[in-house]
Structure 1
């Protein structure tokens, strides 16, 4: 195990840009049609505002824990402290085998599809492009920590400018006619809409992995987490307002690429080309940030697990967990290849990841309460307002979303739960093996 540790080298603004990159991606453009199809225009923007507000509520609890327990493992370290090393290891496995590596594969295919279409690439060419993107981003994170972080900040700025261009397109085109009021959707439709909205906001909990590398811990983590969620909320609300205004409810619900359609209406083919570029850049940014986060979670779990010590290596000159990053990149490549063979698309990956995400978000919020009880005298530079009301509200939401994911989504949700159970079995075998060697 390496004796080298993370260093506090990130300024607050840089950390906020990194956190924003962990949350922001063009999956928001992909989710808008599904959300409109589920609820119509009934409170369409209101649910996006609610998603940002609820994410801020959750973010406040995570800022408190990150300031009190700074660690490169982020959410993993909170869950492990509160619920024990077995649960912590299961969390790390879920990120390694389901959430983070699956997201990298999803974004790689999304980028390859958008970039490959105007180039006339077939399925084989797009697969080569998607694999190349994963390999390139893995190599970038193996090079040096500052190179990976600087690249992420520049990519986030480019994506934000691209989103602004889509918002401008919604202002330029004539407003689509407003449809007559439709019947209000049932709870099933609202649940599906929330699943996709929280998918778009998902990732704010990953910002806690920066807690051991951000300068001025209290101020830095608050700016990184809450600032990134607030800024993203403004972008998403404006973006979806532009899509609804420019395309209208019916066209938006049936659009495969709504932002590209809107940009073409406003600016012709150059606008469409711009959106394709934004989607490609956003996917690359999302892949990069996910590898950054997953490598740190894997490093932290390996540091604590008796059978995974080889991955607990923080490179002394590159300033990054290089072995963990290589492992994450390898699994991501495998998932990229397998998903290409099976033909599973965006919605299938949502099914696969959603229940696991909400299970551990709920446990993370419960950890905020439990750690207050376990360490009542520990200094907390940041305290959650109205504690324990905020985390309790989020726990209730997570429980409902976990239930809704199994009821409303497909077999992918069950498959994701099965992979999580497989992780529990592997953890048991590794611990037994380590105990046998110790004897």
Structure 2
């Protein structure tokens, strides 16, 4: 194996990068949250406006990341940007939280979405949800072990299949001949508690995940030009797709039908073609979940490479296999994700978590209140995620002031308005997630404390680890298309 300091040859094209963005962002939310968004907005035009606004705010963030990625084309994304802008300790705590709960929690959510819909399609395997969730993580992990070429091929195939399934919904929206359905024949709405503000939160979550793509920047061909373009075109295309899908939903189902639907994509297919659509919906969601898991594993292990390069204690994460895979970094990410499935995704695991927290004298969560295990975990980690997202937006402004001499191949348009809009939207999401999670945030206290302690211990430990090269001290890398 070789170290990450040996330049990795360019492997990801513009199309590969777009596929990765599409695969990570378009998960299961677009199949589930539109009814709640329409119910909260109070009308069709208002709902479409919220989806458009969410896309524009995501684009503001993508433009900010485009400048940062072009300025620092290294592995790590936010870890690197936060280290550069606010110091190594902030960067390490971010990476620690991503590795232990945030990224692995998101992978867990997608794995159980896969398991749930597999059980709906084949009821006889429904009782094996834990094994199905583990398999949904292990299979994409196996693709990654086979190498970068196999991993990106799998991502492209999954993204193409996902795009085809969404195209079916759009075709239904065009083909459908509207007919009146009495409101009394529709099921009762279960989302009457939604508000416009909460609908906006749901929309921004549906656009989430695009920032993970910046973690693979060095492996993108001509990364200083390609990454900003991919982020811009990727988010722009997803925004258009989301708006068209919502128009198709409301055209086929009507406003009243949509807000009462629990599976709008399946209902659209069923009403247009008059077929049983349960298996169609299951296939769509399972495909989307696998694509998102594959993308998060692909990008996430590159974050561990960045940490390993900066911290000798984790130097093994910088070792690459001959097939261009950060082998031990991927093993670590897979291991933590599978442990999370066991601990958070099973009743016995959650009982164990409760016992540990009670022993420490800390708050124990009501797992059922927020859905189930991973939904509770995501709610608890959301304030931390949006807090770091806010700092990433601020890093654009901080680095403009503190490092004006650095080359910036891509500049954020309308600076400083664009970063300020991104920061404001992230602050709003931070406040909303705190208001939603409330005392759940206490669950993250032990992880934060451990991360902060490690950030200080690793830097000041007497074994000399602080003398090693650090990402925050490395010069900006050359564009990866210049690598031999």
State the TM-score, normalizing by the size of structure 2. 0.83
For residue 435 of structure 2, the aligned residue among 388, 391, 407 is 407
| Deviations 1:21-75 (CA, angstroms, capped at 9, x unpaired) | 1212122212223323333326101111111111111111111111111012122
Contact 2:313 2:465 in 1 (8 A): no
Q: Does 1:282 align with 2:288?
A: yes
**Which residue of the partner structure matches residue 106 of structure 1?**
109
Q: Which moved more, 1:62-71 or 1:428-437?
A: 428-437
Query: How far does residue 18 in structure 1 lie from its aligned partner after superposition?
Result: 1.6
Q: Deviations over 1:389-426 (max 9, x none)?
A: 11112112211211111113455444346533442234
- Aligned partners of 2:300 and 2:130: how far apart in 1? 23
Q: Does 2:328 align with 1:323?
A: yes
Native 8 Å contact 1:105 1:336 kept in 2: yes
Q: Hey, what does 1:173 align to over in structure 2?
A: 176
> Are 1:117 and 2:120 matched, yes or no?
yes
Following the alignment from structure 1 to structure 2, what is the Cα–Cα distance between the partners of residues 73 and 434?
26
Q: State which of 34, 37, 40 in structure 2 corresponds to 1:35.
A: 37
Q: Which residue of 1 aligns with 2:265?
A: 259
Moved more, 282-291 or 301-310: 301-310
Is 1:50 the counterpart of 2:53? The answer is yes
Counterpart secondary structure, 2:410: coil
Residue of structure 1 in register with 2:220 after alignment = 214
Q: Which has the greater radius of gyration?
A: 2
Find out whether 1:390 has 2:395 as its counterpart.
no
CA contact (8 A) 1:358 1:398 kept: yes
1:358 pairs with one of 383, 386, 391: 386
Moved more, 57-66 or 411-420: 411-420
Shift in Å, 1:337: 2.1
1:375 equivalent in alignment to 2:403:
yes
* C-alpha distance in 2 between matches for 1:346 and 1:170: 33
Corresponding residue for residue 147 of structure 1: 150
Aligned pairs (5 A) from 1:117-136:
117-136=120-139
Does 2:99 correspond to 1:96?
yes
| 2:114–2:290 CA contact under 8 A, matched in 1 | yes
**Quick one: structure 1 residues 85 and 239, their matched pair in 2 at CA, closer, same or farther if it must change by over 3 Å?**
same
What secondary structure does 1:212 align onto?
Answer: helix
Deviations for 1:272-293, whole angstroms, at most 9, x for unmatched residues?
A: 4333212111111100000011
1:72-83 equivalence runs, <5 A: 72-83=75-86
What corresponds to 1:194 in structure 2? 200
**Distance of 1:368 and 1:45 partners within structure 2:** 30
Question: For the structure 1 residues 41 and 174, does the alpha-carbon distance in structure 2 shift closer, same or farther, using more than 3 Å as the test?
Answer: farther
Residues 377 and 22 of structure 1, relative CA distance in 2, 3 Å threshold: same
- CA displacement, residues 65-122 of structure 1 (integer Å, 9 cap, x when unaligned): 1111101212221111111111111111121122211111111111111122121135
Residue 204 of structure 1: aligned partner: 210
In angstroms, what is the RMSD of aligned CA positions? 2.7
In structure 2, the partner of 1:185 is none
Per-residue deviation at 1:374? Answer: 2.2
Assess if the C-alpha contact under 8 Å between 2:319 and 2:327 holds in 1: yes
CA distance in 2 between partners of 1:324 and 1:37 (Å): 43
Unaligned stretches of 5+ residues in structure 2 = 184-193, 348-366, 468-484
Output the TM-score relative to the length of structure 1.
Answer: 0.91
Gaps of 5+ in 1: 180-187
Do residues 233 (structure 1) and 239 (structure 2) align?
yes
User: In the aligned structure 1, how far is the partner of 2:176 from the partner of 2:231?
Assistant: 34
Match of 1:183 in 2: none
In 2, distance between residues paired with 1:301 and 1:432? 16
Q: Distance in 1 between matches of 2:39 and 2:270?
A: 22
1:36–1:418 CA distance, 2 compared to 1 (3 A)? farther
The change in CA–CA distance for 1:177 and 1:380 in structure 2 (over 3 A counts) is farther
Cα distance in structure 2, aligned partners of 1:12 and 1:211: 11
Shift in Å at residue 169 of structure 1? Answer: 2.3
Q: Please report how far the alpha carbon of residue 217 of structure 1 lies from its aligned counterpart in structure 2 after TM superposition.
A: 2.4
C-alpha displacement of 1:226: 0.7
What secondary structure sits across from 1:19 in the alignment?
helix
Q: Is the 8 A contact 2:147 2:324 kept in 1?
A: yes
Deviation at 1:236, TM superposition (A): 0.7
User: 1:182 is matched with which residue?
Assistant: none
Distance 1:88 1:220 in 2: 25
